[in-house]
Chain A
């Protein structure tokens, strides 16, 4: 896990907490991953697993006042993003790291023309003249596939459909040619057909611009279509990580098995049931001291409830945290459904 030349962002032991009336919610509890140049890393998990919080902490955009980065580091170009001052961070946001948000209906300023929302960062970071910035904004709108870009750039967000707005948000994010793009559930709020278009756009842009993408999603279908590598998050921790192929075809822990077993297969006959994961994620006000998945895990052992399992390495990329891989543990076969997919 040494930092090799290809790694652009190295996150180690990231921990984030929120202060609420009920107490401290430990949203992210020690997350580590690497992001390589030009790759797409998907972070998958249910709502509340801490994936969005992870993304926002890297941008340092967590709500002020009630959130706190408790520890860890995020090394980007030799600098720890988590330790930069707000002023230094402002120089990173845009030209170095950019972000696409979940809901395109609310992420554009309703009172500002779409073109101006793009030129804002061009003028700030690249010091472009107004005219040059306007031209560039139109180019960007064309690049993300908005027809009549010139006319469209003078319109307001409410004149755009959801899918078109998300394209605008992507254009804003790409304006200063960032090295890393964090896409936080970029397609969740969109129709399925539009979803596919946006994913296609992201993939295409990545090929042309060579940036790295962190794709946050709860949808394994999206992962399969776009990502190179996957990190599965559960209760504020990464429980399994590997290439898409490894995680989909050779998952190594029961939570991932459950996730995969709950995807419907178009080829399967109707008699094959979808298998939901019973129960719900733990209360992050008081996270279990052992494996957070143990209360829902059909293979749970005593040790699971007492101590967090260490990572077991299966290949250079593939790791999972599960006590089942301890030499003392009984042999367990993954459910048939996962086997079927090989």
Chain B
């Protein structure tokens, strides 16, 4: 095995200084949770484009859309019914001669309102409910869980239909109805996290130093659950947008003459034989909203929890 080789000179067998720290060197600067998540999100092209499109839709719906049109969403003029897209009416006009461009952006505004109201309710009800249930544990948790078990059996659709039948069908009613069952999932997720976290060392350490109750929940448990909370909230948004459009489509949501993407699609579907352009614009905007919010939520989930990536 051993061969004599000329190129091995004695000086090669001198001791060499090994920097011990070299082996322990850490490859990069430490990266925090948020920075790390953002870095991963930035690598997800779909999510990033979605974020851009959502921002653009926001701008169009709230600022540019209304600004660029001289007709409001409600101005009727029966002399200009069913005009196809033109330089004057970019998206055309509907059966009452209303400007579809303005109506589409008005509808987008409704969708976005609902989305964020529903997400807010999700946060305001679901998070505290889950946090309290998970943190307190024992009998109270038991009772709160039973309530959830019962609520899970009530489909959101039924709640929405009932609410819209009884109360005046406005944006607030709509978002409460939409969020009514959504928060249950949020509560379950937060409770699960709480149960997991409260037994971990840092929580025990904080408790042994005298922290308790709301302080502990607020300072340690909620911040450590923010990832799942945000992700779940992001998934609530497209669901809420869908429910609003769906309810408006079947006639239970936003009432005429107010515009919603759902009701616009509804009236377009009735005219599909002769005026298909009516369907095109609200559908595109709606599908864009759904795709982008879903991709963004997916991206956030992957960014916050690489283990969940499939």
Residues of chain A touching chain B, judged by Cβ–Cβ distance below 8 Å, are 278-280, 294-297, 299-306, 310-313, 319, 323, 325-326, 328-330
Contacts and interface: CB of A to CB of B under 8 A. Distances in A.
B20 A278 contact: yes
B18 interface: yes
Contact of A310 (B2, B9, B12, B13): B2
22 contacts: A278-B20, A278-B23, A294-B16, A296-B18, A296-B23, A299-B15, A300-B16, A300-B18, A301-B13, A301-B15, A301-B16, A302-B11, A302-B14, A302-B16, A303-B13, A305-B16, A313-B1, A313-B2, A325-B2, A326-B2, A326-B8, A326-B13
Interface in B204-219: none
B199 interface: no
Nearest to B11: A302
Interface of B: 1-3, 8-16, 18, 20, 22-24
Nearest to A301: B13
A266 B284 CA distance: 75
B10 A328 contact: yes
B13 A312 contact: no
Contacts of B2: 310, 312-313, 325-326
Contact of A306 (B12, B18, B22): B12
A304 B1 CA distance: 18
Contacts of A306: 12
A279 B1 contact: no
B12 A302 contact: yes
A305 B17 CA distance: 11
- In terms of DSSP, what is the predominant structure of the interface of chain A? mixed
A306 B15 CA distance: 13
A297 B18 CA distance: 8
A319 B23 contact: no
B1 A294 contact: no
A279 B1 CA distance: 30
A279 B12 contact: no
A297, A325, A328, A330: which has the most chain B beta carbons within 10 Å?
A328
Contact of B20 (A279, A299, A305): A279
B18 A303 contact: no
Given A294-B18, A310-B1, A310-B2, A280 B23 contact: yes
A319 B1 CA distance: 10
A305 B13 CA distance: 11
B20 A303 contact: no
A238 to B, nearest CB: 14
A279 to B, nearest CB: 3
Contacts of A305: 16
A303 B8 contact: yes
A82 B8 CA distance: 36
A311 to B, nearest CB: 5
B101 to A, nearest CB: 45
Given A278-B20, A278-B23, A295-B22, A301 B1 contact: no
B23 A300 contact: no
Given A279-B20, A280-B24, A328-B8, A302 B13 contact: yes
Given A312-B1, A326-B8, A279 B13 contact: no
A301 B18 CA distance: 9
Contacts of A279: 20, 23-24
A278 B13 CA distance: 22
B1 A295 contact: no
A295 B10 contact: no
Given A310-B2, A313-B1, A301 B20 contact: no
A295 B20 CA distance: 8
Contact of B23 (A295, A299, A326): A295
B303 to A, nearest CB: 16
Given A279-B24, A302-B11, A303-B8, A311 B16 contact: no
B16 A304 contact: yes
Contacts of A299: 15
A330 B23 CA distance: 25
A296 B23 CA distance: 7
B1 A323 contact: no
A253 B18 CA distance: 18
Given A303-B8, A330-B13, 17 more contacts: A278-B20, A279-B20, A280-B23, A299-B15, A300-B16, A300-B18, A301-B13, A301-B15, A302-B12, A302-B16, A304-B16, A305-B16, A306-B12, A310-B1, A326-B2, A328-B12, A328-B13
